[in-house]
Structure 1
Amino acid sequence: MGRPFLKMNGLGNDFVVVETRSAPFAPTAEEVRAIADRASGIGCDQLIAIEPVEGADARVRFWNADGEEVGACGNGTRCVGWLLMQASGRDEAVIETRAGRLIATRAGDRLVSVDMGEPRLDWREIPLSEEHDTRALDVVLYHHADLMAPPGCVSMGNPHVVFFVPDAEAAPAAEAGPVIEKHPLFPEHVNVGFAQIKGRDRIRLRVWERGAGLTKACGTGACAAMVAASRRDLIGRHATMELDGGELFIEWRADGHVIMTGPAAVDFQGELP
Structure 2
Amino acid sequence: MDFAFTKMHGLGNDFVVVDATRTPFEPDAALLSRLTDRRFGIGCDQVLVVDPPPGADVDFGYRIYNADGSQVGQCGNGARCLARYIAEHGLSSKPRLRVRTRSALLELRQQPDGQVTVDMGAPRFEPAAIPLAAPARADHYDALLADGSTVRFGAAGMGNPHAVIRVDDVDRAEVARIGPLLQQHPLWPESVNVGFIQIIDRRHARLRVYERGSGETLACGSGACAAFAVARAWGLLDARAELALPGGTLILEWDGDAQHPVLMTGPATTVFEGRFEWAN
The TM-score range, normalised by the shorter chain, is over 0.9
Partner of 1:2: 2
Partner of 2:66: 64
CA contact (8 A) 2:125 2:137 kept: no
Partner of 2:171: 169
2:116 alignment partner AA = V
**19-28 or 2-11: which moved more?**
19-28
CA contact (8 A) 2:4 2:273 kept: yes
CA distance in structure 2 between the aligned counterparts of 1:6 and 1:179, rounded to whole angstroms: 34
- Decide whether aligned partners of structure 1 residues 141 and 251 sit closer, same or farther in structure 2, where only a CA change above 3 A counts: farther
2:156 alignment partner AA = V
1:39 alignment partner AA = R
CA distance in structure 2 between the aligned counterparts of 1:33 and 1:250, rounded to whole angstroms: 32
1:126 and 2:141 aligned? no
% same residue: 43
Partner of 1:26: 26
CA contact (8 A) 2:154 2:164 kept: yes
Task: List per-residue Cα deviations over 1:39-75 (Å, max 9, x = no partner).
Answer: 1111110001001114222100001111100011110
**130-139 or 99-108: which moved more?**
130-139
1:135 and 2:139 aligned? yes
TM-score, scaled relative to structure 2 = 0.92
CA distance in structure 2 between the aligned counterparts of 1:168 and 1:25, rounded to whole angstroms: 39
How far off its partner does 1:239 sit?
Answer: 1.1
The unaligned stretches of length 5 or more in structure 2 are none
Partner of 2:52: 52
Partner of 1:240: 242
Q: 1:267 aligns with which of 260, 265, 271?
A: 271
Partner of 1:92: 96
CA distance in structure 2 between the aligned counterparts of 1:126 and 1:80, rounded to whole angstroms: 24
CA contact (8 A) 1:60 1:96 kept: yes
CA contact (8 A) 1:251 1:259 kept: yes
**237-246 or 20-29: which moved more?**
20-29
- Decide whether aligned partners of structure 1 residues 142 and 119 sit closer, same or farther in structure 2, where only a CA change above 3 A counts: farther
CA distance in structure 2 between the aligned counterparts of 1:89 and 1:71, rounded to whole angstroms: 25
Partner of 2:220: 218
How far off its partner does 1:124 sit?
Answer: 0.4
1:42 and 2:42 aligned? yes
- Decide whether aligned partners of structure 1 residues 242 and 60 sit closer, same or farther in structure 2, where only a CA change above 3 A counts: same
TM-score, scaled relative to structure 1 = 0.94
**103-112 or 201-210: which moved more?**
103-112
The unaligned stretches of length 5 or more in structure 1 are none
Give the length in aligned residue pairs.
Answer: 271
CA distance in structure 2 between the aligned counterparts of 1:116 and 1:144, rounded to whole angstroms: 36
How far off its partner does 1:110 sit?
Answer: 2.2
Partner of 1:103: 107
- Decide whether aligned partners of structure 1 residues 167 and 142 sit closer, same or farther in structure 2, where only a CA change above 3 A counts: farther
How far off its partner does 1:184 sit?
Answer: 1.3
Alignment partner of 1:138: what SS?
Answer: strand
Alignment partner of 2:172: what SS?
Answer: coil
How far off its partner does 1:100 sit?
Answer: 1.9
How far off its partner does 1:13 sit?
Answer: 0.2
Task: List per-residue Cα deviations over 1:90-113 (Å, max 9, x = no partner).
Answer: 211111111221100112332000
Partner of 1:76: 78
Partner of 2:117: 113
Partner of 2:233: 231
Alignment partner of 1:33: what SS?
Answer: helix
How far off its partner does 1:2 sit?
Answer: 1.7
Partner of 1:16: 16
CA distance in structure 1 between the aligned counterparts of 2:153 and 2:104, rounded to whole angstroms: 26
How far off its partner does 1:120 sit?
Answer: 1.1
Task: List per-residue Cα deviations over 1:217-246 (Å, max 9, x = no partner).
Answer: 000000000001010101122210000000
